[in-house]
Amino acid sequence: MSFSMAPFEVASASLAEPAKVHFVRLMPGIATRHSDTIDIFFRVNGRPALVAISCATLSELDAKESRHFTDQQLVDIAGQWLHRTLAAGYDATVAELFLGGADFRSMAKELGYY
């Protein structure tokens, strides 16, 4: 299966220059980091950035509402979350960005996936 995201730029108060963001890959964090997440990796001005989507949130949406998300939708949602976080002035290359619960639902609704 193939999925991607077009590179984008966003002004960030925490960075000296506009953040140039490139999607790298998506992979389960369960095996690699022993976390209950789906990890979406990006590069921000060449530095690694990680958006970790909660598997518990995805499981809850599946069980209670029969909501399923494709890998492409997860990449889009993570990209939108990263964009918003950078624009708010947070340096996303310092630590992983966790995305779950109400924030995940909000991003999914904003993109029309929910």
Domain CATH number, residue 83: 3.30.160
Is residue 50 a part of any domain in this protein? yes
User: Which DSSP helix (H) or strand (E) runs through 105?
Assistant: helix 101-110
Give φ, ψ of 15 to 5 degrees. -115, 145
Is residue 12 a part of any domain in this protein? yes
- Which domain range does residue 104 map to? 8-110
Pairing relation of β-strands 47-54 and 97-99? Answer: parallel
Is residue 45 a part of any domain in this protein? yes
CB neighbour class for 6 (10 Å; exposed up to 12, middle 13-18, buried from 19): exposed
3-state secondary structure of 22: strand
Is residue 92 a part of any domain in this protein? yes
Query: Rounded mean pLDDT of 66-90?
Result: 95
pTM (global) more than 0.85: yes
Sheet of strand 97-99: strand arrangement:
8-10, 19-28, 37-44, 47-54, 97-99
Per-residue confidence (pLDDT) for residue 92, from 0 to 100: 86
Query: Rounded mean pLDDT of 14-43?
Result: 86
Is residue 30 a part of any domain in this protein? yes
Per-residue confidence (pLDDT) for residue 24, from 0 to 100: 96
